[in-house]
Chain A
């Protein structure tokens, strides 16, 4: 069907995903089949996607094909170019790791009451949906794949449906996914109306008036932003992501949100013609708000997976800030800078997939080992699950954008792009961008606080509950899965020039120019614009770090005969500390909660029980819920209450309606 090996590999990935799904469906009550056959197939599917993506990126150009499915006058068009290739790679990276992690993880569901058939079947479909979204080259296939992705992930969210909160989360998720999907469809409708067809080639060729282009942009932004979880369209995300099985959460947070980013880039930069500068401003504003709100809410959470989900909101905010910069620069015809910002965004896309995947897998490992998601019950896990502990640490360091890990590189690139604002002609824009970068800086610092809290409370200190004290090392597959992602986090942090070289074709394809300067001073030095403007050498910094630390340790080892001696903690000489005396996650977040109190709806409640024990209860809710979502729900509710009066139950009233309708219509047509 296609001569290109990249496209063939991509098809192979789709087929493998379908195969995994089919095997799960057919295997029925044989959980071993799922574990030993379906999950590894998922991994293979990921590998194939990864291969296809890398091939597409390195070979350049694009390949298209049509599939004999779909509408009679519009078969499914698929196309693999650099942009699709990059996102295929992202999907492949996380998915292939699931092949290692999954078999051991799903084992814990074998004895549960929830059907593994559904788990395996929908996992495969979910992957197929994501792959096809990235491959689609016409709006119809895109929408089919998009909704397939939403729908199958919905079933995965509802997997453990005995819990009413999970059902509610699944409902909210599907509802908002549906709204988003329809909005995207509308956006495509606008583009197709001008392009005269639903295939992307027609849309590319079309020229839209600025007004309609902005409408299409707005629709795409709302639709994809809803999936990407941008504030204020994020309400579903912290509900839905945590309740899915952890490896699915990793897929949803790490990959599915990226597919939304893909869609947005595809529509706005590829299909929608001329870019307007104020689109960039909108993106900057929404991205900044999302980043800040996301991280603040993340910091307030005590449920580990929920915290990670909020952190995804934050990271998507960062990605959209970078995209906003790219649009701004592109609209003002600074293509080189636009390329820099776009590369920053795409780099962060890859990074977030890696470290968020890693963190969710780590959360899954904790869940597997302790059946606990509540941070307040954890503690001291580093000594009980050292592998997971160290991998998780790498994830935390990466997400906190600390050098020399990968998160830092993309954030650094974003800052570099923002600092080129002086090149813009408009003074207003010049002063707006620094504010966005201030927000970015604030966000970065708060992320660090969040993950100090997570790591400190969960892995350090002492266990706060009995089952956490009994935590054990997780099976090899799960450790290996985390290990691969952790290794990738480090590699992408240390070798940025190579990664940028890989991403570069995407920028060239979309913007007409890439970042030729990035590796101009050799592979050691990352110089996005020029060596004088900014440079960063991750290999050298990690070398220096390792060298000095090694020297210091070696020196101490040599000098001191005696090793360290163990003793009781000092704690300013107070009584021996118990686990209950440790700082809790809630307490950790208290200073920030006070500083940013305006954003939250806080309900605090201190009571002294009869036994004299003080109890403290804290409820923290999103103000946006009451401001945005509740009024809509109330509106529909009251409209439906009004409408049902039509069905009063009295047949004479019904007849009256018929008579009235008849008379009104006769009156209308006689008047006409």
Chain B
């Protein structure tokens, strides 16, 4: 379905999705923790907006609720919790730079292309206009994972994780016009509990290693030399 054939609302959905993808890049490269949390909140907001727009464009009434849930959780509650945690952990001014930002960004670009390549055969037979967004949502998921690979800071890792969840929400909306309600509620509940637990763990980690640098969590390994047993 070519872009021009779409309604304005449908075009707006694509725009929002593209913005969400852009925010993934920003999140990946953002050195300041607090700023990253804000970016994440914006991304959550964009996902909610996509949901809302799809609901309006596709006349899927149950998506209104979904949009509300996403907005409440991803744009407000979780960013707020993270914000509070960073303040309590004294990380409000924390910055962390990637070692080779250009390379990481390039890798992320490659991931986007890769996602598109993977999804093409699927999109080709799709009918609904939202199908094109699947590639974007997959890219958001993968970039979130990439962010977790390259960020050493525990809070940043959680941001990556939550950004992956954003990608998932996006996929659910775009590919299937929303999951069954019980699943959606369950997922939201799980994400919330996960966030609470992440908060608990930030304190536990800091208590045990005096830092939130995950690279220093390296006691449990097999690579130390062992003297021959038996």
Known A649-B218, A650-B215, A670-B117: A655·B145 in contact at CB below 8 Å? yes
Inter-subunit contact B220/A649 (CB<8 Å)? yes
In angstroms, how far is the closest chain A Cβ from the Cβ of B50?
24
A619 interface residue (CB < 8 Å to B): no
Inter-subunit contact A644/B223 (CB<8 Å)? yes
- Chain B, range 136-163, C-beta contacts under 8 Å to A: 142, 145-146, 148-152
Interface string of B88-117 (1 = CB under 8 A from A): 000000000000000000000000001001
A168 interface residue (CB < 8 Å to B): yes
- The distance in angstroms between the C-alpha atoms of A645 and B214, with both chains bound, is 18
| Closest chain A residue, CB of each to CB of B219 | A649
Which residues on A sit within 8 Å (CB–CB) of B149?
652, 655-656, 659
Inter-subunit contact B230/A168 (CB<8 Å)? yes
B59 interface residue (CB < 8 Å to A): no
- Chain A, range 631-649, C-beta contacts under 8 Å to B: 644-649
- The distance in angstroms between the C-alpha atoms of A185 and B151, with both chains bound, is 51
B222 interface residue (CB < 8 Å to A): yes
Inter-subunit contact A659/B118 (CB<8 Å)? no
Inter-subunit contact A655/B148 (CB<8 Å)? yes
- The distance in angstroms between the C-alpha atoms of A645 and B224, with both chains bound, is 10
Interface string of A657-672 (1 = CB under 8 A from B): 0110011001100100
- The distance in angstroms between the C-alpha atoms of A656 and B142, with both chains bound, is 11
Interface string of A139-172 (1 = CB under 8 A from B): 0000000000000000000000000000010010
Which residues on B sit within 8 Å (CB–CB) of A659?
142, 145-146, 149
In angstroms, how far is the closest chain A Cβ from the Cβ of B114?
7
B196 interface residue (CB < 8 Å to A): no
Inter-subunit contact B114/A663 (CB<8 Å)? yes
- Chain B, range 198-230, C-beta contacts under 8 Å to A: 214-215, 217-223, 230
Inter-subunit contact B219/A652 (CB<8 Å)? no
| Closest chain A residue, CB of each to CB of B121 | A670
Contact of A647 among B114, B121, B148, B221 (CB under 8 A): B221
Inter-subunit contact B114/A652 (CB<8 Å)? no
Contact of B223 among A168, A647, A656, A666 (CB under 8 A): A647
- The distance in angstroms between the C-alpha atoms of A655 and B114, with both chains bound, is 18
| Closest chain B residue, CB of each to CB of A645 | B223
Which residues on B sit within 8 Å (CB–CB) of A645?
223
- The distance in angstroms between the C-alpha atoms of A658 and B114, with both chains bound, is 16
Inter-subunit contact B118/A649 (CB<8 Å)? no
Inter-subunit contact A666/B118 (CB<8 Å)? yes
In angstroms, how far is the closest chain B Cβ from the Cβ of A634?
12
Which residues on A sit within 8 Å (CB–CB) of B142?
659, 662-663
Which residues on A sit within 8 Å (CB–CB) of B151?
652
Which residues on A sit within 8 Å (CB–CB) of B217?
649-651
Inter-subunit contact B118/A647 (CB<8 Å)? no
| Closest chain B residue, CB of each to CB of A654 | B149
Contact of A171 among B145, B222, B230 (CB under 8 A): B230
In angstroms, how far is the closest chain B Cβ from the Cβ of A174?
13
Interface residues on A, range: 20 to 34
In angstroms, how far is the closest chain A Cβ from the Cβ of B150?
7
In angstroms, how far is the closest chain A Cβ from the Cβ of B213?
11
In angstroms, how far is the closest chain B Cβ from the Cβ of A165?
12
Which residues on B sit within 8 Å (CB–CB) of A648?
218, 221, 223
Inter-subunit contact B152/A652 (CB<8 Å)? yes
Interface residues on B, range: 20 to 34
- The distance in angstroms between the C-alpha atoms of A652 and B219, with both chains bound, is 14
Inter-subunit contact A658/B221 (CB<8 Å)? no
Which residues on B sit within 8 Å (CB–CB) of A647?
221-223
In angstroms, how far is the closest chain B Cβ from the Cβ of A204?
43
Inter-subunit contact B145/A658 (CB<8 Å)? yes
Inter-subunit contact A649/B145 (CB<8 Å)? no
Contact of A644 among B118, B150, B222, B230 (CB under 8 A): B222
Contact of B118 among A646, A651, A670 (CB under 8 A): A670
| Closest chain A residue, CB of each to CB of B111 | A663
- The distance in angstroms between the C-alpha atoms of A650 and B219, with both chains bound, is 9
- The distance in angstroms between the C-alpha atoms of A644 and B121, with both chains bound, is 39
Inter-subunit contact B214/A651 (CB<8 Å)? yes
Most chain B C-beta atoms within 10 Å of own C-beta, residue among A644, A649, A658, A662: A649
| Closest chain A residue, CB of each to CB of B115 | A666
In angstroms, how far is the closest chain A Cβ from the Cβ of B107?
10
- The distance in angstroms between the C-alpha atoms of A663 and B219, with both chains bound, is 29
Contact of B218 among A171, A650, A667, A670 (CB under 8 A): A650
In angstroms, how far is the closest chain A Cβ from the Cβ of B111?
8
- The distance in angstroms between the C-alpha atoms of A645 and B121, with both chains bound, is 37
Which residues on B sit within 8 Å (CB–CB) of A644?
222-223
| Closest chain A residue, CB of each to CB of B114 | A663
Known A645-B223, A647-B221: A652·B148 in contact at CB below 8 Å? yes
Which residues on B sit within 8 Å (CB–CB) of A652?
148-152, 214-215
Which residues on B sit within 8 Å (CB–CB) of A171?
230
- The distance in angstroms between the C-alpha atoms of A647 and B220, with both chains bound, is 8
Contact of B221 among A649, A663, A667, A670 (CB under 8 A): A649
In angstroms, how far is the closest chain B Cβ from the Cβ of A670?
5
| Closest chain B residue, CB of each to CB of A659 | B145
| Closest chain B residue, CB of each to CB of A653 | B149
Interface string of A382-404 (1 = CB under 8 A from B): 00000000000000000000000
Which residues on A sit within 8 Å (CB–CB) of B222?
644, 646-647
Known A171-B230, A666-B114, A670-B117: A649·B148 in contact at CB below 8 Å? no
Which residues on A sit within 8 Å (CB–CB) of B145?
655, 658-659, 662
In angstroms, how far is the closest chain A Cβ from the Cβ of B17?
21
Which residues on B sit within 8 Å (CB–CB) of A650?
214-215, 217-218
In angstroms, how far is the closest chain A Cβ from the Cβ of B23?
20
Interface string of A162-197 (1 = CB under 8 A from B): 000000100100000000000000000000000000
Which residues on A sit within 8 Å (CB–CB) of B150?
652
- The distance in angstroms between the C-alpha atoms of A658 and B149, with both chains bound, is 10
- The distance in angstroms between the C-alpha atoms of A651 and B215, with both chains bound, is 7
In angstroms, how far is the closest chain B Cβ from the Cβ of A108?
29
- Chain A, range 582-627, C-beta contacts under 8 Å to B: none
In angstroms, how far is the closest chain B Cβ from the Cβ of A268?
36
In angstroms, how far is the closest chain A Cβ from the Cβ of B153?
11
Interface string of A292-323 (1 = CB under 8 A from B): 00000000000000000000000000000000
Which residues on A sit within 8 Å (CB–CB) of B146?
659
- The distance in angstroms between the C-alpha atoms of A658 and B164, with both chains bound, is 14
- The distance in angstroms between the C-alpha atoms of A647 and B118, with both chains bound, is 30
Most chain B C-beta atoms within 10 Å of own C-beta, residue among A168, A658, A666: A666
In angstroms, how far is the closest chain A Cβ from the Cβ of B124?
13
| Closest chain B residue, CB of each to CB of A666 | B118
Which residues on B sit within 8 Å (CB–CB) of A655?
145, 148-149
- The distance in angstroms between the C-alpha atoms of A649 and B222, with both chains bound, is 8
In angstroms, how far is the closest chain A Cβ from the Cβ of B48?
27
- The distance in angstroms between the C-alpha atoms of A436 and B1, with both chains bound, is 84
In angstroms, how far is the closest chain A Cβ from the Cβ of B225?
9
- The distance in angstroms between the C-alpha atoms of A340 and B134, with both chains bound, is 79
In angstroms, how far is the closest chain A Cβ from the Cβ of B162?
15
In angstroms, how far is the closest chain A Cβ from the Cβ of B78?
20
In angstroms, how far is the closest chain B Cβ from the Cβ of A170?
11
- The distance in angstroms between the C-alpha atoms of A263 and B222, with both chains bound, is 42
In angstroms, how far is the closest chain A Cβ from the Cβ of B171?
15
Which residues on A sit within 8 Å (CB–CB) of B220?
649
In angstroms, how far is the closest chain B Cβ from the Cβ of A82?
45
Q: A647-B222, A649-B219, A650-B214 are in contact. List 17 more A-B contacts (CB 8 A).
A: A644-B222, A645-B223, A646-B222, A648-B221, A648-B223, A649-B218, A650-B215, A650-B218, A651-B214, A655-B145, A655-B149, A656-B149, A662-B142, A662-B145, A663-B114, A666-B114, A670-B117
Subset of 15 A-B contacts with CB under 8 Å:
A171-B230, A644-B222, A648-B221, A649-B218, A649-B219, A649-B220, A650-B215, A650-B217, A651-B214, A652-B150, A658-B145, A659-B145, A662-B142, A663-B142, A666-B114
Point out residues on A near B: beta carbons under 8 Å: 168, 171, 644-652, 655-656, 658-659, 662-663, 666-667, 670
Closest 4 CB pairs of A and B: A649-B221, A649-B218, A644-B222, A647-B222
